[in-house]
Chains A and B, each alone.
Chain A
Amino acid sequence: MVLVFAESPRGNLKKAAFEAVTYGKKVADLLGTTCVALTLGKADNAGELGRYGASRVLNATGAALDHFDSQTYAATIAEVAKSNNASVVIVSHTSTGKSLAGRLAVRLDAGLVSGVNMLPVADGGKLRVKKSVFSGKAIAEFEISSAVKVLSLLGNAVKPESSGNPVAVETVAAAASNGRIRVREVRTQEGRVPLPEAEIVVSAGRGMKDPGNWGIVEDLAETLGATTACSRPVADSDWRPHHEHVGQTGIAIRPNLYIAIGISGAIQHLAGVNNSKVIVVINKDPEAPFFKAADYGVVGDLFEVVPRLNEAFKAFKAAN
């Protein structure tokens, strides 16, 4: 069977979990087997994962799983994988999944491909699967030859598909914690969708001239239900919080729509955003390198263009 670890940060299943189970179900179909979802710790409405294709939903709880510790989590997942003869284990390519994937590969003597963004192809007992490498500048196809395979799935790579029915949640055992990691505090931004999960991102750079000018960017993001981001110089000047910094040293994202406002498009910035499905660039400099990576471009004064674009989106929303 295909085992999917469905994350439930702060007790809630989120998009990453639905994507992973949707993907797991497709992999299971490909291999002629079933998809089983595993949640750890508190996971409200875990049975809903049945809708996304899980034939069984398992949950382990206990004090050891209340906070994330990759050792305890990996031990629990690996035990479930072994006792259920999982041939493929799937995690999300998130801060949690990335800490687990390598550990699971070692524990299960499995070949690992992390950050996959499309379905594998079965080749006898092997799997072939592709991922983006060199910060989006190339694609590599990997061949996994081990009996058990581990994959981590990039965010926004598959659309969650719900067609089935909820299933009852079965309880499984949690591994014991060695207590060496003690989480003291989790601080999160409430309200906005976190950048790695956002489908639309509105991002701005030095062309904004002053942090006091960000109102037009926030208004546009508000209209689109988008998450705001910024370039490195903007974060380094403390114009915007560091968690908004996208690019090679910041966060790498792959939204459906990336709107870059007043960002020249240095290669380090592109490395973090060039896997976006559609890129719109607004810049007054027609020679800005970002236009070469863009799908749509507007050469003009952002202080005029951005409010105008916001009005156009509002009119579109009102009409649709």
Chain B
Amino acid sequence: MKLLVCISQTPDTTAKISFNADGTEFNAAGVQFIMNPYDEWYALVRACELREALGGTVVALNVGPATNETTIRKALAIGADEAVRINADPQGAAFVAKQIAEYARGEQFDIIFFGKETIDYNGSEVGAMVAEYLDLPFVSYASKLDLNGNTATLERDIEGGVEVLEVDIPFVVSAAKGMAEQRIPNMRGIMTARTKPLKEVQPVAFDDQAKAVQFTLPPAKAGVKLIEPDNMTELVRLLHEEAKVI
């Protein structure tokens, strides 16, 4: 098995989000960065489990600057065998997808894993793009993945239910809750991660045709209006007359 897990670095869930004065750039000062949770908890762990059961190699791939190495080493500590960093600012989903596809094209991976989306841009775009570049099937929002020979059985979250499907390797998958359980790296993992190979690859030129040009913060909430617990008729009136949602 040769498995590729694409990992993103994102601001921590609890990070305070702010931008520079003219709203053109994210303000990273004081922000804690983490591995995108869906990439880490579900995609990476399931890939490691498959490798443990079937043998093979798990490669963790990140498109980002050298400062992302802490996140990449964490992926190695969790269980990836080797890592690749494509040395570029991950300026947009299409740019990142192009870089991943160009790298993966020559490597013959059996399964390419993504998290279902990143918690910063929430786009869910890159996996489908990579699948298209490589002309591979794509299974999104998979909450279960089992492999039997060259055929995988997956469950995929759909609106109000689940779809069960089979797909032959190679394919691209995006992982949702349920595919695996989060793993905390142990001391041995952290120690061995230091010496595992981390290769730097140079990016290919690509111009993103959809660019984030302006950021704003949502208007502040007016503040909660408290209603006495014995006056639910008043709450219903407000929802009808003021909020107009019923």
**Interface of A toward B, CB cutoff 8 Å:** 9, 67-71, 74, 94-96, 98-103, 105-107, 109-115, 128, 132-146, 149, 178, 180-189, 192-197, 200, 224, 242-243, 245, 248-250, 252, 256-257, 267-268, 271, 277-278, 280-281, 291-301, 304-305, 308-309, 311-313, 315-316, 320
When the two chains form their complex, are residues B229 and A298 in contact, meaning their CB atoms are under 8 A apart? Answer: yes
Q: How far is the CB of B146 from chain A (nearest CB, A)?
A: 13
Q: List 9 A-B contacts (CB under 8 A).
A: A9-B159, A102-B128, A105-B125, A136-B218, A143-B211, A145-B211, A242-B177, A296-B226, A316-B240
Q: Could you tell me if B161 and A186 are in contact, using CB atoms closer than 8 angstroms? A: yes
Cβ-defined contact, A74 with B132, below 8 A: yes
Bound-state CA distance A128–B211 (Å) is 9
CB of B21 within 8 A of chain A?
no
Contact B164 A312 (CB under 8 A): no
> B158 to A114, Cβ gap below 8 A?
no
Partner of B164, one of A137, A184, A192: A184
Report the separation of the CA atoms of residues A243 and B177 in the bound assembly, to the nearest whole angstrom: 10
- Give Cα A112 to B164, complex, Å: 28
Is B34 interfacial (CB 8 A cutoff)?
Answer: no
Q: Which residues of B99-138 have CB atoms within 8 Å of chain A's CB atoms? A: 119-133, 135, 137-138
Residues of A within 8 A of B246 (CB): 200, 224, 257, 313, 316
- Given A187-B164, A280-B239, A295:B221 Cβ within 8 A: yes
- Chain B nearest CB, measured from A312 CB (Å): 4
Whether A292 lies near B224 (C-beta < 8 A) is yes
Q: Which residues of B contact A271 (CB under 8 A)?
A: 13, 119
Q: Are B167 and A182 in contact (CB under 8 A)?
A: yes
Interface contact B131-A112, CB-CB below 8 Å? no
Known A-B contacts A188-B158, A189-B160; A70 and B213 likewise in contact (beta carbons under 8 Å): no
From B74-82, B187-195, B230-238, give the one contacting chain A.
Answer: B230-238
Which among B37, B133, B137, B140 is the interface contact of A95 at CB below 8 angstroms?
B140
| Interface pair B230/A308, CB less than 8 Å apart | yes
Query: Is the beta-carbon distance between B128 and A100 smaller than 8 angstroms?
Result: yes
Residues of B within 8 A of A99 (CB): 128, 138, 140
Q: Which of B137, B213, B233, B240 contacts A181 (CB 8 A)?
A: B137
Q: Are B240 and A143 in contact (CB under 8 A)?
A: no
Would you give the shortest CB distance from B189 to chain A, in whole angstroms? Answer: 23
Residues of B within 8 A of A (CB-CB), count: 79
Besides A70-B137, A74-B132, 10 more A-B contacts (Cβ < 8 Å) are A95-B141, A99-B140, A102-B130, A111-B210, A136-B218, A189-B161, A243-B161, A249-B177, A296-B226, A296-B227
Q: How far is the CB of A286 from chain B (nearest CB, A)?
A: 9
Query: Which of B126, B177, B218 contacts A102, CB < 8 Å?
Result: B126
Cα separation A100 to B164 with both chains bound (whole Å):
18
Which residues of chain A come closer than 8 Å to B123, judged between CB atoms? 114-115
Closest residue of chain B to A180 (Cβ to Cβ) is B137
Of the candidates A98, A141, A248, A256, which one forms a contact with B124 in the assembled complex, judged by CB atoms under 8 Å apart? Answer: A98
Do residues A309 and B235 form an inter-chain contact, with CB atoms below 8 A? yes
Instruction: State the Cβ distance, B172 to closest chain A Cβ, in Å.
Output: 10
Q: Which of A106, A184, A297, A309 contacts B224 (CB 8 A)?
A: A297
Residue B11 lies at the interface, judged by CB distance under 8 Å to chain A:
yes
A280 to B221, CA, bound (A): 13
**How far is the CB of A197 from the nearest CB of chain B, in Å?**
7
* Interface presence of B205 (CB below 8 A): no
A194 engages B160 (CB within 8 Å): yes
Query: B214's closest neighbor in chain A, by CB?
Result: A141
Bound Cα distance A193, B120 (Å): 28
> Which of the residues A107, A142, A200, A297 comes within 8 Å of B227, measured between beta carbons?
A297
Q: Could you tell me if B168 and A138 are in contact, using CB atoms closer than 8 angstroms? A: no
The 8 Å CB contact of A137, one of B17, B214, B245, is: B17
**Contact bitstring B37-50, A, C-beta under 8 A = 1, else 0:** 11001000000000
- Let me know if B14 and A267 touch, CB within 8 A: yes
CA A136 to CA B122, docked complex, whole Å: 9
**Shortest Cβ distance from residue A258 to the other chain B in the assembled complex, whole angstroms:** 10
In Å, the complex CA distance between A76 and B218 comes to 38
